[in-house]
Each structure stands twice: as structure tokens, then as C-alpha cells.
Amino acid sequence: MIDDDLWSAVGDPTRRRMLDLLLTEGGGTATTLSERLPVTRQAVAKHLVVLDRVGLVHVTPAGRERRYEVDEAQLARAVAQLAAVGEAWDARLQRIKRIAERIQRDRQAGVEQS
Amino acid sequence: MEYGSIERELRIDASPEVVYEVVSSPEHVREWWPDEAEFDPVPGSTGRIVFGDPASPEAKVEQLTVVEADPPRRFAFRWVHERGVPAAPGNSLLVTIDLVPSGGGTLLRFTETGFRERGWEAAVLEQAYADHSRGWDHFLPRLVARATSLVARP
């Protein structure tokens, strides 16, 4: 599994909305998803191919259609990676804030004393 | 929309000049990020940041190249490119920090892009997989909202 592809797959807002629908409804087809989204069935089908390729959905035949379900372990893996990087930067930015504000206070105190 | 990006904004009660110093000078960068930082905060300068004890073979060393240095407005650098290879889109992550004066303080706008091109292994430096120890029950209900807020933050 190439992680770049995972990132791209969940980085698209339509695909995230699709994952959301598949999660809350326990699965769906290109047709049922397109009924809930402002995109064509063809566009949904293309997004499903992307999600399938990175292992974020499982496919099973359902009559003339294909039924998709979210691979929750794979989704959790993708999101954990995003979360880890985001959280690491949140912590760093908070440290930047603390350091800058401390320097600012020290300098102001210095000015007032002199 | 750049899919592979992290964007953040925060307000700091310090002047842009002070914040610029903190985000760009190696002495301060060491305080908020790696254990060691060696680079000149001027455009084109390449240096390195080290995570862990620099004397230990287990230390993780990453290259860093300053892309823009425009005090007190913008500091941008690329990192995680291979040693000896010029930093460029596709082989590194681009961090851009913009500073905007705001009511006596500073609004800091942060973006990091390049994940899609660069891949995750290098991006996820700090115990990226710690999250995996969390149980699915805790995790799954928050998944999509979380991904949305992390990736698509306007």
C-alpha cells in the first residue's frame, strides 16, 4: 500500500462525503450514492474506483450493480496518519506562540524598567 | 484545493517581528521543534534539523532548505529532501508561515504541503503510529469529521 495514494483518496471532499454516507448507511452502490450527492453516477463510479484501489472500500456484486462498503481498518489507518501530522504541528505552533509571547513580555518589561 | 495539505491559523500576542524571530532563527526553532537545528535563515540556504541526540546513531536527521525569508512577513522552507539533492516540489514538504499584524499582535498562518507527492513515511516523523493503539470504538465515529477538518480546513 502506497501511503500517498491513501492520502489523495481521502483528501478529496466528494470522496470523504461518499465514505461518510457508506459508513452511516452501512454500504451503498454508485446509484444510491449519486442520489445523495450533487454529482453524476458516472463521477461517483470513478471515485469508487479510486477508493477501491487504495483499499478503502470492499466491493461485492449486488444484482446488476456493485455494492460498496468501507474498509474501516484501512480508513482508520489513513486518518491516523493525517491526524498524527496535524497534531504534531498543532503542538509546535502552540510552542511558537508561548515562546513569542514570553519574549514580547520580557521586552516590554525591559522597556518599562529602563 | 491542494489535497495534501495541512493549514492552521493562530493568534499570537507578540509583534510580527518577534514571531518571525521565533519561527526562523535556529536558536528558537530548537525550542519548538527539533533537538538540533543548523541553517542560515536566508533564501537558498540548506541546513539540517536533528531529532534525538545528535551524537547518537539513532538520531533522525532531516535536510531543510530555506525558500523564502521576508521578515517580518513570511518564512518558508522545504524539508525531508534527501541529502545532496536540491529541494524541489515532489521530493520535499513545503512549510510556509505568513505573519499578519493583527490588533497589536500577530495572526500566524501556517501551511504544509507536498504530502501527496512526497509520501508519508518521511512526513510522519514523530510516532505517527501511536494513534493506532487507540481502539476502533473511540476512533471510528470521529473519522470523517476529523479527516475533513484536517485536510479541508479553508
Per-residue pLDDT tens for B67-92?
999 999 999 999 988 888 889 887 88
Does the CB of A57 have a partner CB in chain B at under 8 Å?
Answer: no
Does the CB of B27 have a partner CB in chain A at under 8 Å?
Answer: no
For A3, the closest of B28, B119, B131 (CB atoms) is B119
Contacts of A77 in chain B (CB under 8 A): 132
CB contact (8 A) between residue A89 and residue B112: yes
DSSP H or E stretch at residue A35? helix A30-36
Q: What is the CATH number of the domain that holds A34?
A: 1.10.10.10
- From A15-24, B80-89, B102-111, B133-142, the region with the lowest mean pLDDT: B133-142
Pairing of strands A65-70, A28-29: antiparallel
Q: What pLDDT shows up at residue A112?
A: 79
A104 found inside a domain: no
CA-nearest residue to A7 within chain B is B116
What is the DSSP code (8-state) at residue A64? T
Averaged pLDDT of chain A: 85
Does the CB of A79 have a partner CB in chain B at under 8 Å?
Answer: yes
pLDDT surpassing 80 at residue A57:
yes
Alpha-carbon gap, residue B96 to B46, rounded angstroms: 16
Does the CB of B127 have a partner CB in chain A at under 8 Å?
Answer: yes
**Domains in chain A: how many in total?**
1
C-beta contacts of A103-112 below 8 A and 24+ residues apart? A103/B14, A103/B18, A103/B21, A103/B22, A104/B13, A104/B14, A104/B15, A104/B18, A107/B18
A85 found inside a domain: no
- Average pLDDT (B53-74) is 91
Does the CB of A13 have a partner CB in chain B at under 8 Å?
Answer: yes
A84 found inside a domain: no
Q: What pLDDT shows up at residue B113?
A: 81
Q: What pLDDT shows up at residue B123?
A: 35
Question: What percentage of chain A exceeds 90 in pLDDT?
Answer: 44
- Average pLDDT (A20-41) is 92
Structural domains in chain B, CATH included, are 5-128 (3.30.530.20)
Q: What pLDDT shows up at residue A4?
A: 62
A111 found inside a domain: no
Q: What pLDDT shows up at residue B82?
A: 82
CB contact (8 A) between residue B10 and residue A97: yes
Highest mean pLDDT among A1-10, B56-65, B84-93, B96-105: B96-105
C-alpha cell at B63: 535536510
Beta carbons of B66 and B50 less than 8 angstroms apart: no
Provide the chain A residues 58-77 that lie in CB contact (below 8 A) with chain B: 72-73, 75-77
Residue listed under C-alpha cell 513569542: A100
Q: What pLDDT shows up at residue A102?
A: 95
Instruction: Write the CB contacts of B38 (distance below 8 Å, at least 6 apart in sequence).
Output: B26, B47, B48, B49
C-alpha cell at B7: 493549514
Does the CB of A12 have a partner CB in chain B at under 8 Å?
Answer: yes
Q: How many CA atoms lie within 13 A of A104 on its CB side?
A: 19
Q: Is B127 left (phi over 0), alpha (psi -120 to 50) or beta?
A: left
What is the DSSP code (8-state) at residue B43? T
Contacts of A11 in chain B (CB under 8 A): 3-4, 116, 151
Per-residue pLDDT tens for B125-138?
333 333 323 323 33
CB contact (8 A) between residue B124 and residue A85: yes
Q: What pLDDT shows up at residue B126?
A: 31
Does the CB of A112 have a partner CB in chain B at under 8 Å?
Answer: no
Helices and strands (H, E) in chain B, number of each type:
6, 7
Residue from A2, A4, A56, A70 to probe the interface with B (highest B Cβ count within 10 Å): A4
Alpha-carbon gap, residue B23 to B25, rounded angstroms: 6
Alpha-carbon gap, residue B101 to B16, rounded angstroms: 6
A33 found inside a domain: yes
A46 found inside a domain: yes
Does the CB of B22 have a partner CB in chain A at under 8 Å?
Answer: yes
Structural domain boundaries, residue A34: 3-71
Averaged pLDDT of chain B: 76
